[in-house]
Amino acid sequence: MILGLWEGAYRVTQVVSPTSWRSWNFPAPSHVLDAALGMLEIPTGFGNPLNTPGWPRVHSDATAGRPAAHVYNSPLVIANLVSLTRLAIGFGVSILIGGFAGLAMWRWKALDDFLGPPLLGVQTLPSVCWVPMAVLVLGINENSILFVLVMGSFAAIAISLRDGLRTIPPLYPRAGLMLGAKGWRLYRYVLLPASLPALATSLRQGFSFAWRSLMGAELILIVPHRGLGYLLQSGRDFSDIAQVIAIMIVMVLIGMLADRWVFAKIQAAIQVRFGLA
């Protein structure tokens, strides 16, 4: 509805006074859609004056192993795959580090006193602030992007996991001990399942941190494999406002869908099981 009015207003303005609304300053919805579909290699005829007809692209160089000659060589699908692969690897590492840190801080009070405040500090640090350090220490490569992602999200996972573990009723380990679950069995059969709601919450929180960190890192660190953040930056470089907005929408959509369809679903399933919902 809003989009329809917006598009309509644009079309009317173009007829009445073509100079008052320039599509390269602010696009109409059709331009954004055109940019998005163009990046998917589906040319449309909506008439974005910047890139009609279709989308300029060069493929041959990449397959020949030479650096791509043209910025528009990364269609949306490839960028998504690249970003999601990085996310999977980085988020996985982040879960491992954050998980162990959270568990250890919950288990040992002294460690919590020691690590807790710095971790909270790390969590408040915007993740792109890790970029300079990543560049100097690791160089501009995949590792530095993953580094930024991990540093941006593991603290959030550790802290929310620790806080969640603290809410496990002490009655559960007591009951477990009474029933003969000692040592690692207490962890495996009582504390681990009891911590599932906390784990789900921390994953959900960790994901949104990880996604934001990754987009920031990709935006700044330009490496051979081009992710969504790179497409956003190239849109800026080529003053293509339609592309910028299209990419932002894709980022929001992915973040939202992952949260709604994956993490919220996991959380809801666990809460139903535990009778919390």
138 binds other proteins (CB under 8 A): no
54 binds other proteins (CB under 8 A): no
Q: Quick one: which segment of 78-86, 122-130, 174-182, 223-231 binds other proteins (CB under 8 A)?
A: 174-182
Category of 239 on φ-ψ map: left (φ > 0), alpha (ψ -120 to 50) or beta:
left
Q: How many residues bind other proteins (CB under 8 A)?
A: 19
Question: Considering the complex, what minimum distance in angstroms separates the CB of residue 273 from other proteins?
Answer: 6
180 binds other proteins (CB under 8 A): yes
DSSP letter string, 44-73:
--S--TTS-SS-----HHHHTTSPPSSGGG
Category of 47 on φ-ψ map: left (φ > 0), alpha (ψ -120 to 50) or beta:
left
Question: Considering the complex, what minimum distance in angstroms separates the CB of residue 197 from other proteins?
Answer: 9
174 binds other proteins (CB under 8 A): yes
Question: Considering the complex, what minimum distance in angstroms separates the CB of residue 269 from other proteins?
Answer: 11
**Sequence-separated (6 or more) residues with CB below 8 Å from residue 266:** 200, 203, 204
Cα–Cα distance for residue pair 32/1, rounded to 1 Å = 16
C-alpha to C-alpha distances, 230 to 22, 115, 227, nearest whole angstrom: 25, 34, 5
Location of structure tokens 């941190």: 209
81 binds other proteins (CB under 8 A): no
Binding residue for other proteins, selected from 185, 239, 257, 260, defined by CB under 8 A: 185
x/- track of binding to other proteins for residues 246-275 (CB under 8 A):
---------------------------xxx
Q: Whose Cβ is closer to other proteins: residue 177's or residue 256's?
A: 177
DSSP letter string, 116-171:
HHHHHHHHHS-GGGGHHHHHHHH-SSHHHHHHHHHHHHHHHHHHHHHHHHHTS-TH
Q: Quick one: which segment of 18-26, 85-93, 101-109, 180-188 binds other proteins (CB under 8 A)?
A: 180-188
65 binds other proteins (CB under 8 A): no
Question: Considering the complex, what minimum distance in angstroms separates the CB of residue 211 from other proteins?
Answer: 29
Render the burial of 12-48: b for 16+ CB within 10 Å, e for the rest: eebeeeeeebebeeebbbbbbbbbbbbbeeeebebeb
Q: Whose Cβ is closer to other proteins: residue 69's or residue 179's?
A: 179
177 binds other proteins (CB under 8 A): yes
200 binds other proteins (CB under 8 A): no
Q: Binding residues for other proteins, per CB under 8 A?
A: 169, 171-172, 174-175, 177-181, 185, 189-190, 193-194, 196, 273-275
